[in-house]
Amino acid sequence: MKRLLPALLALALCGALFAQTRPLVLQSADRMSGSKTQGLLTLQGGVKFRYDDATFSTELAKWNQNLDQVNCSGGFRFDDPGGRLSAESGIYDRRNDKAMAQGAARLRDSTGNLRLDGDRIVYNRRTSLATAEGNPKLTAVEADSSDPKALRWDTLTIDARRFEVDREGKVARATGQVFAVRGDLRVWCDTGTYRWEEGTMELSGSPRAAVGDVEISGKEMRIELEKRRLKRIKVAFDATGRQRAFDRKTRKTQCSQVDGDTLEAWFDGERPKAFEARGSAVGRFYEEEKGEYVNRADGAFLRLDFRRGKPDRGMVTGRAKTVYYHFDEEALEGRNEAIGDTVELGFSPDGIRSVQIRGLASGGAPASGIYYGEKKDPARDAAKAGDGRERKESQDRLDAGTRQEVR
């Protein structure tokens, strides 16, 4: 149908009379019906409005000039210099400069690399704030989103019950059953804040992060990425870092757990580099198949270094104390208890390889270690040693500064 150009010019003038400041301008429509005097109009076919530097379009609109609102039920697309909001239907409120989208709503920035989806999205242009509800999801892509070979670490997706996105401040806040994925990283929490220019996520409400064979948890968490790679996870209050390292040669799984008031876990992508625990630091190390024999290290500070993603060496300082077990193949030989200012641990694929004690123990006493031998099975000892003598439980004291190799 021929465009109603004369009528549209009249409507533009009418819109200007109702506007308090800048007018809402109707640029095109195929058909129009309603009452101009009452300020209620129905527009159909190729409907397009403009307000300031924004435009929005639909196939069916009801324009209430008294309320300065346009209700769009034939699809909705709202464009401004910052990006685009689209949905099955929508409402534009000119007085508050607010767009409300309903049904498969999507808000994306001008680059297309940041996208917010939900059943309902409200975008306030005055505050640059957008809220999303109804199965909302935030997707952020750092690389060219059109490149099918983009690395998994280039894309972050966050699911939650509700989102609030500050487009000007470049901050997204997610609340309610938050779940985030980036490459091999998985994150769960109650509340999360993502700052896309900084590449950080701040989490609270029982946050938990998992990457590869590592799991980190606590009460508050901050995740830092650098050049699209995981760099560090910082945890405060009831902090825990766990790892399960499977060795293909020994076919054994070594488990490590580090607890503290605070924890910093350093990464090179998906591989752990180090755990650092402060304040009531505790380390637990054991073979998964021998979970009842847990080697333990306590102190004010504990650092566990990894090599190629597996425990390599550890250090405990500040009234350090360790308990670790000796095995001869699968049989328990005994256990060692060591105390000092500093205890250094060496690891192998079989677990703890060596322990070295340094400095003074609590109260100024010299650092020391005690070995407790276990009673042996006479039949097994006879088979190995050629006699039937039973080895009694023993206690051998280790000198401070010596290196105890674990058999």
Taking residues 371-391, report their average pLDDT: 49
Nearest to 235 by CA among 275, 176, 198: 275
- Whole-angstrom Cα distance, residue 242 to residue 189? 18
Taking residues 224-251, report their average pLDDT: 90
pLDDT value for 387: 40
In this predicted model, what pLDDT tens digit does every residue of 275-331 receive, in sequence order? 999 999 999 999 888 888 999 999 999 999 999 888 999 999 998 999 988 777 777
Taking residues 249-256, report their average pLDDT: 87
Q: Is residue 386 part of a domain?
A: yes
| 46 pLDDT more than 60 | yes
Q: Which residues form the domain of 398?
A: 245-256+278-407
pLDDT value for 144: 54
Tokens found for residue 302 = 């504990």
Average confidence score pLDDT of the chain? 84
Q: Is residue 113 part of a domain?
A: no
Q: Is residue 346 part of a domain?
A: yes
Q: Which DSSP letter does residue 188 get?
A: E
Q: Is residue 249 part of a domain?
A: yes
Output the pTM of the full model.
Answer: 0.81
What proportion of the chain, given as a percentage, has pLDDT over 70?
A: 81
Among 135-144, 153-162, 182-191, which is the least confidently predicted range?
Answer: 135-144
Q: Is residue 73 part of a domain?
A: no
In this predicted model, what pLDDT tens digit does every residue of 47-84 receive, in sequence order? 999 999 999 999 999 999 999 999 999 999 999 999 99
Q: Is residue 399 part of a domain?
A: yes
pLDDT value for 31: 96
Q: Which DSSP letter does residue 289 get?
A: G
Q: Is residue 80 part of a domain?
A: no
- Whole-angstrom Cα distance, residue 383 to residue 395? 24
Inter-CA distances, 397 with 175, 263, 289, 350, 357, Å:
56, 33, 29, 24, 12
Higher pLDDT, 403 or 244: 244
In this predicted model, what pLDDT tens digit does every residue of 341-376 receive, in sequence order? 898 999 988 788 888 887 766 666 666 667 666 655
pLDDT value for 189: 98
Taking residues 35-46, report their average pLDDT: 89
Higher pLDDT, 5 or 220: 220
Q: Is residue 106 part of a domain?
A: no
pLDDT value for 378: 52
pLDDT value for 251: 83
How long, in residues, is the chain? 407
DSSP string, 57-80: EEEEEEEETTTTEEEE-S-EEEEE
In this predicted model, what pLDDT tens digit does every residue of 80-136 receive, in sequence order? 999 999 999 999 999 999 999 999 999 999 888 899 999 999 999 999 999 999 999
Domain count, the chain: 1
